[in-house]
Amino acid sequence: MSERKFNDQELSKRNKLKSLQEQHKDPFLITKFERNHNTQSFKKEFNKFSKDELHTNTTRVILAGRIMAIRQTFGVIKDFYGKIQFYVNKKEDPQMFEDFRNVDVGDIIGVEGTPMKTNTDELTIRIKKITLLSKSLKPLPEKFHGLQDEEARARHRYLDLIMNEESLQAFITRSTILRELRNFMDSQGYIEVETPILHPILGGANARPFATHHNALDRDYYLRIATELPLKKLIVGGFEKVYEIGRIFRNEGMDATHNPEFTSMESYEAYISMYEVMTLAENIFKYIATKLNKTQLTYKNTQIDFTKPFKKWNIIDAINETAKVNFNEIKTDQEAIQIAKKHKIEMKPHENTRGHIINLFFEHFCEEKCQQPTFVYGHPIEISPLAKKNDKDPRMTERFELFICGKEYANAFSELNDPIDQYDRFNNQLKEKEKGNNEANEMDMDFIESLEYGMPPTGGLGIGIDRMVMLFSNQETIRNVLLFPHMRDEK
């Protein structure tokens, strides 16, 4: 291994650390620091007092955090809750002032002192004692430019969190959304469960998987692309309302709204259809919006209003309204292929069917029209292998997707509970796989057998948590709402 090289700032920091260690003041030997305040509680308790009132206040304040700035005898310390200014009086305690001179921007310190306000009325801690708790051996990014490059922010998330308050708030919002989502589902009588991440069969969604090998069992597994099939087995087993929030893995491309691993919530409820699930999905988004005080927000230059009822748009009607093509009048695959060619819709070999072409038309002409929350329903059977057939048109299914700002946020079915139909659908998926559809489901006989014992009519819902966080934290790329997104290697 080659010897590490350090710049002048790094060498200066390391020399300071070495000097402290020689004086038996090694900060890395400290294991604990007792605090009685954080920046938030300090402001709450003392901001209400005037400068004169605080002049005689001798309340002992102890807090800790990272130094974000130093200017002469003043500095700024930051903890999880915010920032606060501190002040060192050289004349009061020369030794303490010397300790102050040994700390740098980026160091983590503990301070003890009393509250005061400056001539500009800024609440400040007058330091009586300073304790170096961790020596920063690398300089923080330059103050005025910070860490702005999105790739650098994602690659070095710890620096992003230190330097960018907006980023920290986005992840606090994520935590709030997950907590409130659980609160809502629990309040509706759903039971949270956990299902396996390693799956022997590829199923539950149309997606390419990651594969791995279990040495003890000497067999290959897939990292799950969905939680759907295990959760529906629980409905067979007698659960009537279940949900799971967990990581999903799909071996696909990365872009502004896709990451190889992401978080979803899937829920299943016995004895309801997709129409009741529409109500559930709408209530979830409105509940989260209310809890975040964002019932009306701006996202990607679009005003989103969660106080209004969500639009319901049949997929055939949507295409007819936008592309002026009525697929109710197109009966055969060959007719659909001709109309697709006429509109310059590109098709892969496994997409030369009326159902797939309907979906391609929707993606091409309609998705961007769904700016306000819109339920698009009635999808073709070819792209919905786990949804019930529509009883009026068996080529279509009881399925909806929720779109906001042209992107899908939720997917839901009246779940297919006919084991014979499900077996045939899986067989059709195998045929598509032979034609090159790498996202097709495989035959899952254990799931088929579970359905053969009987599953009640069931409504299922899947929600992409990451996109929901993007929406409510006003982030336009998924990696800004994932603490540790996957990144390509640095060149």
3-state helix, strand, coil in the chain (%, to 5): 35, 25, 40
Amino acid identity of residue 132, one-letter, is: L
Q: Flag whether pLDDT at 65 surpasses 70.
A: yes
- How many CB atoms neighbour CB 49 within 10 A? 15
- 132 in Cβ contact with 99 (< 8 Å): yes
Burial of 43 (0-12, 13-18, 19+ CB in 10 A): middle
Residues shown for the chain: 491
Q: Flag whether pLDDT at 144 surpasses 70.
A: no
Q: What is the DSSP string of 353-384?
A: SHHHHHHHHHHHHTGGG--S-EEEE--BGGG-
Would you say the C-alpha torsion 28, 34, 37, 40 has a positive or negative sign? positive
- What are the tens digits of pLDDT across the range 261-294? 999 999 999 999 999 999 999 999 999 999 999 9
Percent of the chain with pLDDT over 70: 98
- What are the tens digits of pLDDT across the range 401-453? 999 999 999 999 999 999 999 999 888 888 888 888 777 778 889 999 999 99
Give the predicted TM-score (pTM) of the model.
0.91
- 141 in Cβ contact with 155 (< 8 Å): no
Q: Which of 233, 245, 263 is nearest to 386 (CA)?
A: 233
Q: Flag whether pLDDT at 480 surpasses 50.
A: yes
Q: Which of 304, 311, 306 is nearest to 288 (CA)?
A: 306
Q: What is the mean pLDDT of the chain?
A: 93
Q: What is the DSSP string of 250-295?
A: -----BTTB-SEEEEEEEEEET--HHHHHHHHHHHHHHHHHHTT-S
- What are the tens digits of pLDDT across the range 308-350? 999 999 999 999 999 999 999 999 999 999 999 999 999 999 8
Q: Flag whether pLDDT at 215 surpasses 80.
A: yes
**Rounded CA gap, 61 and 47, in Å?**
14
SS3 52: helix
Percent of the chain with pLDDT over 90: 84
Q: Using pLDDT thresholds of 50, 70 and 90, give the confidence band for residue 489.
A: confident
